[in-house]
Amino acid sequence: MIEGFPSTMNDSYQLNLWRVIDYAAKIHYDTEVISYRNLQGGKIHRMTYKEVYERVRRISSGLESLGIKPGDRVAVLGWNDHRYYESYFSITGLGAVMLQLNQRLAINDLDYIIKHSKAKGIFVDESLIEIGNALIKNNNLDFVVIMTDDPSKLNLNFKNNIYNYEDLVKNNPPKNYEEINEKSAATACYTSGTTGKPKGVYYSHRSLILHAWAINGVLNFMPEDTFAAIVPLFHANGWGAHIAATMMGSKIVLPGRYTPESLANILINEGVTASAGAPAILIPLLEVFRKMEPKPKLNNLRFISGATEPPLALMMQLKEFGMNIMHAYGATETTPLVTANLPKKKIKQMSEQDQIENARKQGLPVFGVEVKIVDPAGKELPWDGKSVGELLIKGLWIANQYYNDERSKESFIDNWWKSGDAATIDENGYVKIVDRIKDLIKSGGEWISSIDLENYLMAHPAVLEASVVGVPHPKWEERPIALVVLREQYKNKDFNELEKELKEHLSKRFAKWQIPDKIFFVNEIPKSSTGKFDKKTIRAQYKNIYNV
């Protein structure tokens, strides 16, 4: 590292999460934070940033009274509501670490996370008390805080050191925050553990603040915006968008536990202008919009879609209702923002069809992040839009190791994170994920992308969801098969005719050898704890169809 001439800037000023809510409370003090808890046994809460900050500071004091010190880990098991949102600032404001638990994980995985992190205590939402009881029973925790509107109705196994969240608010004075070393861990998320035990990623105050600025560059939050936090906050910090929205003083809507119907009403009634989520929520949301009378019109909703590529047909159909979908890419290890599909001027000058094709890509790396693609030997590949290699990532908010985990050496090399995604990068810098490396299908020595097949299947009006995997074949090594969930109005059709129709549909875009040999019509496709298709389970279920 080169040492240059010293600046006159106050570089000792620390980037701390508590400064975000402190700023919002002072400058945007009367802007609302709205929390829907009606599907969790609670009620709808409406508060201002000023009121939220007062509660945050009191919870911090309450945690201090329970013995929490800088560096301690405090687990949180909840939904996207005001108490979870407050915990982002109350726990981290002490210099402690907010350990975010994914309630969709198996109990043994959650147990592992609590033990591996050495969590001192846990916040549990009232609607998740059954999971909470199991974790409390299996772990030696110093305290349990119940997040509820009515603690009297709860049945708790853990009899001592149980506290009501609202009592901590009521019975403690506001905390005056001190500067925290910005390189200290603020929050932690653990990967979903589809292969082995979950792996811990601990995010620093600095990385979260820098990442929030990057999110602002993509969603362009303004004080007049209304942001709905749809992504579970335990999932890669809710993609950091709630931090970015708070930073800009936008109105925040926390939908709590929701259904597609309740979410659709929230988006419409609250006038939401910005949000983010996986394609998995967009599909049922579209179904709800289609049934509504009169036809709903959203408030030019800017929506970042992550995870797998959103089907093009889905993007176009949602646009009719006032939703503008932008594709982005990231992971737990990347906080998560890596790329966003922001169109360059030259892209806007392309034909409409070429612009549509480009919109399907994961997008351009945002400032602060570097990307490259490499072959199996580690050789860097050209940005030509054709060469396929593993995507490697490093940057200001990218992990360079897992917490206390030997598997770090398998996933990181020279500060680059090995994503496990096969990708191309074109001459304009746009990244396109071809597939997970482990999900690419090798048939007769040629590669087939499961993602491309899935997206084209879902462009057919009969298909609600589709997942494609490779299964062992005696001649071709692997052959693709597809699992399809039909839309309701197609479920009484002849399946043989539908299979033929779907294969003809695929033949418009794919060579004959790329088309799935068999299409299975199912009521539900197995999914992981993060809502992605569980292809490991699917492959295991269908591995013997060719008797290999």
Active-site positions? 191, 333, 442, 447
**φ and ψ of 238, to 5 deg:** 60, 30
> Tokens 């009274």 label which residue?
65
* Identity of the residue numbered 365: P
For residues 65 and 55, the answer to whether their CB atoms sit within 8 Å is no
Distance CA(426)–CA(432), nearest Å, equals: 8
Distance CA(68)–CA(256), nearest Å, equals: 27
Residues 6+ apart with CB under 8 A from 509: 456
Distance CA(519)–CA(345), nearest Å, equals: 41
For residues 526 and 536, the answer to whether their CB atoms sit within 8 Å is no
**φ and ψ of 124, to 5 deg:** -130, 130
Grouping H, G, I as helix, E, B as strand and the rest as coil, residue 244 is: helix
Q: Which of 62, 175, 205 is nearest to 123 (CA)?
A: 62
Grouping H, G, I as helix, E, B as strand and the rest as coil, residue 171 is: helix
Distance CA(12)–CA(179), nearest Å, equals: 10
Distance CA(330)–CA(326), nearest Å, equals: 13
Bridge-based pairing of strands 416-425 and 389-395 is antiparallel
Strand partners, 443: 446
> Tokens 């601990």 label which residue?
202
Calculate the alpha carbon distances from 134 to 99, 392, 441 in Å.
Answer: 17, 38, 40
Q: Helix crossing, 82-90 with 17-27: angle to 10°?
A: 120
Distance CA(525)–CA(410), nearest Å, equals: 30
